[in-house]
Every structure is written in C-alpha cells, then in structure tokens.
Structure 1
C-alpha cells in the first residue's frame, strides 16, 4: 500500500555505526574518481537478490576494493496518481528497502556516489512529469520525486528516456533539478549509442545534440547540465567489442569525459550485445589510449555480473573492470570512427525480414525494441503492414 510523504518522515533509515575493519583503509580508495569527473566505474542495480535467490548485498563493492565510483538504484517510476512513486514494484520507503538504504549510506561513507535511475523501458514517467502547462514540469508529480531524492540523500539522477517526448521535457527537468539540488547534484542520461552518433537515432523522440546545446549551466563541469551520458552499446544500438562506435560519438562533438561506455555484464540482462570481460577490458584499454579523459564504463546490471565469465560473485566482475579503468593504458591507439558497427540485433531474423521490406537496419532495430520483438507491432510502427501482406501472399 502506498504511504504518503508524511508517513515517510516518521520512518528511520539511518545506517548504524560502521564497525572497525569493515572497509579497506582510506589509502585503498585513493584512485576512486571525485564523483563528477572521470575515471568512473559505474554499475546499475535493479535486481536486489543473488543468483541463488538470497538478499543481494552492496557492501562487497567497497569491502573488496572494486574501485566502483557510482551505483544507480533502478528503476524509479512515476505512476498515474500524483505522489505514487515506486522503485521497481515497491514504494521507496517500503520496509523491503531498509537494507538497501542502510547499505547505500555505508557506501556513501566510503566515497561511492549512490544515484537513482528514472524511467527505462516502462513508459509513462516522463509524460507525467512534463504534463504541466505548455509542457512545463508538473509539480504534482515532480515534488514527490524531489522529496524522495532528498529524503534518501541521493547523490544524483539518471534520466533514461525510452519513450517519445519533446526535447523540452528533459530540458525542463534538467533545469529544475539543477535549480533545486544545486550544481553538485549529478545529472546523467542513458541514451542508446546511436543517439550520440551522427545518425542521432534512438528511443526518446528528440535529438540529443539539440538538448545538449541548450542544457547549459555555468556552474556545471564543461558548462553542461548533463554531467555525462551512459551510452547503451547493446541490444543492436552499439557494439562494445571495439572502440569504433565510441570513437564515432567523440567525432560527433561529445567530449570523452562525458561519454561512459555502457555494456551488458551478463547475457541474461539484455537481448544481445554481451561480450566477455576480456573483450571489454581490451576495448577500455584502447579507449584509454585514445582519450586521456575517457569517461569510464557502466555495467547493466550488477546482480549477475560476470556469471558467464566464471565469477561466483558479481563484485569480482566489477573489480576486473575497475582494474582496467584505473590501470595504465595498454591498448593501441585507434580513433577510426567509420564504418560504425551497430552490434548484433536481439531479433536477427525479424530484423532481416524488416530490412527485406525496405526498412533501414537501425529503423528495424528500433521498431523491434519498442515493440519487444513483435513483428506485427514493428510492421505497424514502420508502416509496412500492407507491404508484408503482399510479399507473403
């Protein structure tokens, strides 16, 4: 049952005092980023259980000196009734999250930034937040979100927009968040890789270049409201097995310190585009050689990270990535940006079918991603239903 904000304020979620020896000494944390600038080693956490079904603990991320810099708690949803906010399926102040909030406070005490991801594949959050007059931020939906972020001492918010909205929606939200939380509050976004490449083609219904040119603030790094972009290099949108797709983003005008390489850390967490830890480390090493200010890496998602690389615990995968990110650059310089590989589609045969009917590859990937692999839905979205009927008659 939904609890009002008044009820929230009557609940305690303060972490207990930390026992001596629980975490590594401060000297072991010296290589961690400063929170706002690279290098960054980032993970999304959406499934809060272990692969064997137990309670997932976040504490090994610092106990094992993985060098993780940021974690995203995912995903926050803005539901129909104003004030009805859920973290996945439960109110953020439900007792189910008590351990998560306690551990988050302990991670923060060790320098890790704990953030939230808003939106994702579930539709509705952004149209509701931007349903004010002439597309302005609607306080009925926004204020409860802001109160949630403040109450749980969240360090930043990731806007993952995978539904059609006007560019004014993220722009107004970014401006409002910066106004209300200040310049030290981290603001990120999670476009698919092609959104940042010259094609500028993705899921949000707006051009990120147009947003980035307007989303400025003198007090933020590089004068930009968006500290960095977590570019999704999987599910047909990009290929993280080589540096080429990332290079194309930098060639398109984005600074490397504002682009984080987004990868799948297990094939179970996406439809396609997972690679082994050694492949990711190779790509990271090359990108570090290409760009002294390489933005870092983010893995989706933590609970089963490295399960196909032979690791028994997800922190082991994060530690290997951290070693690559914070270690010396050992790759060969390769800044070639063409041709740009899209990466394998989650639905290769259906993608080929749509291409055979005249759709461009990336149009087919987009339509299938939006419709979750429905051929009928993709055909309707692309306006190809009649052509498909004729071709199969």
Structure 2
C-alpha cells in the first residue's frame, strides 16, 4: 500500500501543474465621450464593466500635447468639467482590474512631431497628464513622421518615470508590422528589436486598406516574419461601418477569423475595436455588446 502511495505521489509531482486559462485581450477605444457632438449625451464606458463584458483595456482617446503647451483630450483640456464623470467612471473600472490607457496622437497631426523635436518642452506635459489621471499606460498612435530615435526616447522615458509595470502600446497600421505601408516614419521591426521588452503589444489597424480582418492572411503575414511575437499582435478592427473609412467586417466574419487565429496560435494577442460609442451589434443604445461578443469569441 505504501509503495502504491509513493508511486502515485511521484506521478503527481512529475505532472505539470494545472494552468488557468489565459484571457485574451479585449481592447476598446473610447474617443466619443458625448454622442451628437459637444452638447450631446454623455457616453459612459462603465457598462463595459457592469455588463460583465470581459473588457481588459480601455484606451481613452485622443491626447494631444498642443503647440500652445496645453494638453487636450480631443477638443478640451482633460481637466474640463465635461470629463469629470468620465474620470470617475474610469477610476471605478480601474479598481476592478480594467486597464485605463491614454491614447496619444492619432489622425490629428503635431503631437509626435513635438515630442520628437521639442521633447524637453512637450514630454513633461504628457508625463504630468499621466500622473494626474493615474493612467495605467499609454498607446502611442503615431500617424505622422517621427524619427526612430524620438520614439525610443519617449518609450525609455515613460518606463523610467512610471516603472516596468506601466503599459506602453503602439497602434501602427497593420502593414507596418509586415514591412509594408507605414504612416509613422520609422521601422516597427527595427523598433521592436531594440525596445520589444518595453512594448506590451501592438494594436494593428487591420482596416482602411492597411490590412484586412476578413481572414487570417494579413495577421499570418506578420507572424511569419518571426520578429514580433504573436502574443503582442492585437487584431484591431472597426466596430461599425460608421467608424473610419473602409474595411469593416461583420461580427460573423470576425468570429470566423478570431476562431481560426486562436486555433492556429494558442497565444493569440487579442482584439481591439475602434471605437466604443456606436459599436455593433448593440449600436449607440448597447455599445458594450461588441466587447462581450469579442470576449466570447476568444474563449
């Protein structure tokens, strides 16, 4: 009996420990805080938490260090009263484990030119905004020309100021991750080779002609280059035909693509959606449903 017990014990010790399922990223961009313009209705991100969607990261857009040396969140300083409720809602989400990340830049030009050529003037404005609103990280959406030295300097300083747990992501067009078309002016594979350990992941834009989420082909093309690991490549998609230009894929098509990707790659990086307020299938009345559906696709 003792020998049997010892044999069973040895087998148990030799077996690998059970691994909890790792949740994939469900990333939601949150730029439209008020529907129907400046005088519209406040769009709270909190249903993403309250409805149990499984959202992992909310990217608050878009932060701009402006040439008047005042940081704006879209058209107003982040301290404006129109954002008071938003910051409270986001803090409540943070307290429940959702990362709140500030998206810097985007289509509006100038933010990264300033950070590149006038770093000592404009970086402290970004740093102080991160501190004031206790952001978990920043998403660097470089859609203008910037030197690779400049983006490295920004990443290095963020890590110096906020530590190793601070999240730094980038949002290149998808083709930039396979050596194709690029809006940023620097080579992302070269950046990854030097700074990959400091970059949490890439929210690749698989739309507007820069990539396509209708199949796995373009995602596979990135992975096949063996530079940026699959767990750091997030499939960025449009959440509605009304968002951006072209390349929206239906939820049925997206589910087929995501199902194939998670089958091919056990460490598939996740899905990001631009943007929250009118996400299909719920639209403006239930925009949280997109995130719930995407989380379910990845299980």
Task: Report the TM-score, using the length of structure 2 for normalisation.
Answer: 0.89
1:259-296 deviation per Cα after TM superposition (whole angstroms, max 9, x unaligned): 00000000111110001111111111110001010000
Match of residue 39, structure 1, among 2, 24, 40: 24
1:88 aligns with 2:89: no
State the secondary structure of the residue aligned to 2:117: coil
1:328-385 deviation per Cα after TM superposition (whole angstroms, max 9, x unaligned): xxxxxxxxxxxxxxxxxxxxxxxxxxxxxxxxxxxxxxxxxxxxxxxxxxxxxxxxxx
State the secondary structure of the residue aligned to 1:298: strand
Matches within 5 A, 1:228-377: 228-253=201-226, 254-306=228-280, 312-325=285-298, 327=299
State the secondary structure of the residue aligned to 1:43: strand
Please, which runs of 5 or more residues in structure 2 have no aligned partner?
1-19
- In the aligned structure 1, how far is the partner of 2:285 from the partner of 2:264? 33
Q: Equivalent residue for 2:126?
A: 145
Match of residue 176, structure 1, among 157, 182, 191: 157
Q: Equivalent residue for 1:59?
A: 46
- Per-residue deviation, 1:78: 1.1
Please tell me whether the aligned partners of residues 232 and 262 of structure 1 are also in contact (alpha carbons under 8 angstroms): yes
Distance 1:54 1:168, change over 3 A: same
After the TM superposition, which parts of structure 1 deviate over 2 Å for at least 4 consecutive aligned residues? 49-53, 309-312
Match of residue 159, structure 1, among 140, 157, 161: 140
- In the aligned structure 2, how far is the partner of 1:312 from the partner of 1:141? 38
Distance 1:311 1:280, change over 3 A: farther
Q: Equivalent residue for 1:76?
A: 63
Q: Equivalent residue for 2:185?
A: 205
Please tell me whether the aligned partners of residues 306 and 317 of structure 1 are also in contact (alpha carbons under 8 angstroms): yes
State the secondary structure of the residue aligned to 1:86: strand
Please tell me whether the aligned partners of residues 231 and 269 of structure 2 are also in contact (alpha carbons under 8 angstroms): yes
- Per-residue deviation, 1:200: 3.2
- What is the Cα-based RMSD across aligned positions, in Å? 1.8
Q: Equivalent residue for 1:121?
A: 107
Matches within 5 A, 1:95-114: 95-114=81-100
State the secondary structure of the residue aligned to 2:176: helix
Please tell me whether the aligned partners of residues 74 and 87 of structure 1 are also in contact (alpha carbons under 8 angstroms): yes
1:45-76 deviation per Cα after TM superposition (whole angstroms, max 9, x unaligned): 01013479421111111111000000000000
Please tell me whether the aligned partners of residues 200 and 208 of structure 1 are also in contact (alpha carbons under 8 angstroms): no
1:155-198 deviation per Cα after TM superposition (whole angstroms, max 9, x unaligned): 0000000101111111111011011110100000000010011x
- Per-residue deviation, 1:312: 4.0
State the secondary structure of the residue aligned to 2:219: helix
State the secondary structure of the residue aligned to 2:84: helix
- Per-residue deviation, 1:127: 1.2
